């Protein structure tokens, strides 16, 4: 799922191309992408893009006269910048926003279509979609500590809960926890003040570093390779590969649709966390530490 750094680079690329430009039309090939019906989807045609905003993982177009279009990419939604009026691709294409300079095409891989477009005539509608999480790059130390301790959750859940933090998902939470050297299953109520400080620093550094890295790689080009798995990540998507800090094999906890990756040496004092697929496979014999796993 595109997370804060991905959305920021999309927004910057969009700003450079459509801010101040008039939207000439809206095409929709997959009507289920539309989540509101009033105003109608083509109501902003002829309006100018006054500004662009990020609300959590959502991209918001602000039009003049006042109207707002919200796009949520969910897991597999992506944005393409194509020549003007380029046909919407079959199967993956959902909708297109046409400008004289080019067409923004919303695509989504897979059969399960979850990306959405909302239209509102006032900011209240946009605000109504906000899950209420704090902005991780803007929260003060006190706000950060307060929000992370509000409910006693595992760190992995707390970081990825949009009611707690805005814009962090499965990929960057793995990278953040690796950087902070904290266990994904550590309970937030057990965090010391020192650990909260370390976590906050890791959140800010990770999100900023990844945003900067992507922006530098793009050099003004359109972000075509928005992916949850980047070759230069430390642990996310790196199961079995060497931790760049200590060389131990990266571990995982497998869930129904995704997995958490971590380094046992750096984050859990060598302890392996319960992994359903691994425990099923090994039944009672499943190793509890990195040493036992290596011996197995």
Per-residue b or e along 59-75, where b marks 16 or more CB atoms closer than 10 Å to that residue's CB: bbbbbeeebbbbbbbeb
Rounded least distance, CB 243 to Zn ion, Å: 3
Pair 74, 1: CB distance under 8 Å: yes
Rounded least distance, CB 227 to Zn ion, Å: 23
Rounded least distance, CB 265 to Zn ion, Å: 4
261 binds Zn ion (CB under 5 A): no
Please give the structure tokens belonging to residue 100: 């004289």
200 has which bridge partners? none
263 binds Zn ion (CB under 5 A): yes
185 binds Zn ion (CB under 5 A): no
> For the chain, how are helix, strand and coil distributed in percent, rounded to 5?
35, 25, 45
Identify which of residues 49 and 263 has a Cβ nearer to Zn ion in the complex.
Answer: 263
Identify which of residues 164 and 185 has a Cβ nearer to Zn ion in the complex.
Answer: 185
103 has which bridge partners? 82, 98
Pair 110, 36: CB distance under 8 Å: no
Rounded least distance, CB 210 to Zn ion, Å: 19
Rounded least distance, CB 66 to Zn ion, Å: 51
What is the Cα–Cα distance from 133 to 150, expressed in whole angstroms? 12
Q: Which of 49, 266, 272, 290 binds Zn ion (CB under 5 A)?
A: 266
Rounded least distance, CB 245 to Zn ion, Å: 4
Identify which of residues 47 and 248 has a Cβ nearer to Zn ion in the complex.
Answer: 248
148 binds Zn ion (CB under 5 A): no
Identify which of residues 30 and 248 has a Cβ nearer to Zn ion in the complex.
Answer: 248
Q: What is the DSSP letter of 3?
A: -
23 has which bridge partners? 99
- Residue 282: how many CB atoms within 10 A of its CB? 13
Residues 123-142 that bind Zn ion (CB under 5 A): none
Residues 191-250 that bind Zn ion (CB under 5 A): 243, 245-246, 248
Tell me how many residues contact Zn ion (CB under 5 A): 7
What is the Cα–Cα distance from 67 to 51, expressed in whole angstroms? 11
Number of residues that make up the chain: 296
Identify which of residues 78 and 238 has a Cβ nearer to Zn ion in the complex.
Answer: 238
Stretch that binds Zn ion, among 13-21, 76-84, 202-210, 258-266 (CB under 5 A): 258-266
3-state secondary structure of 94: strand
265 binds Zn ion (CB under 5 A): yes
Identify which of residues 207 and 263 has a Cβ nearer to Zn ion in the complex.
Answer: 263
Rounded least distance, CB 266 to Zn ion, Å: 3
Please give the structure tokens belonging to residue 282: 């090994």
What is the Cα–Cα distance from 78 to 80, expressed in whole angstroms? 7
For Zn ion, the nearest residue by Cβ is 243
Q: What is the DSSP letter of 162?
A: T
Rounded least distance, CB 172 to Zn ion, Å: 18
Binding residues for Zn ion (CB under 5 A) = 243, 245-246, 248, 263, 265-266
């Amino acid at each position: 799922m595109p997370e804060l750094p991905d959305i920021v680079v999309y927004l910057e690329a969009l700003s450079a191309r459509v801010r101040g430009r008039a939207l000439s039309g809206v095409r929709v090939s997959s009507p289920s992408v539309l989540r509101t019906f009033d105003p109608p989807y083509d109501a902003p045609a002829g309006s100018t893009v006054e500004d662009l905003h990020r609300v959590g993982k959502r991209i918001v177009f602000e039009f003049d006269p006042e109207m707002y279009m919200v796009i949520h990419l969910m897991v597999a939604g992506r944005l393409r910048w194509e020549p003007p009026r380029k046909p919407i691709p079959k199967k993956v294409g959902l909708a297109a926003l046409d400008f004289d300079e080019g067409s923004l095409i919303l695509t989504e891989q897979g059969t399960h279509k979850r990306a959405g477009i909302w239209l509102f005539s006032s900011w209240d509608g946009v605000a109504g979609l906000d899950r209420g999480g704090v902005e991780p790059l803007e929260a003060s130390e006190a706000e950060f500590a307060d929000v992370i301790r509000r409910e006693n959750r595992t760190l992995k859940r707390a970081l990825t809960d949009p009611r707690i933090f805005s814009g962090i998902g499965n990929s960057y939470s793995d990278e953040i926890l690796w950087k902070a050297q904290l266990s994904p299953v550590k309970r937030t109520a057990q965090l010391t003040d020192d650990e909260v400080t370390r976590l906050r620093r890791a959140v800010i550094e990770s999100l900023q570093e990844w945003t900067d890295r992507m922006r530098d790689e793009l050099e003004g080009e359109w972000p075509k390779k928005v992916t949850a798995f980047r070759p230069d990540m430390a642990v996310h998507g790196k199961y079995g590969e060497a931790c760049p800090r200590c060389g131990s094999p990266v571990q995982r906890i497998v869930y129904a649709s995704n997995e958490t990756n971590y380094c046992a040496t750096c984050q859990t004092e060598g302890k392996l966390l319960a992994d359903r697929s691994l425990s099923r496979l090994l039944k009672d014999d499943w190793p509890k530490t990195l040493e036992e796993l290596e011996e197995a």
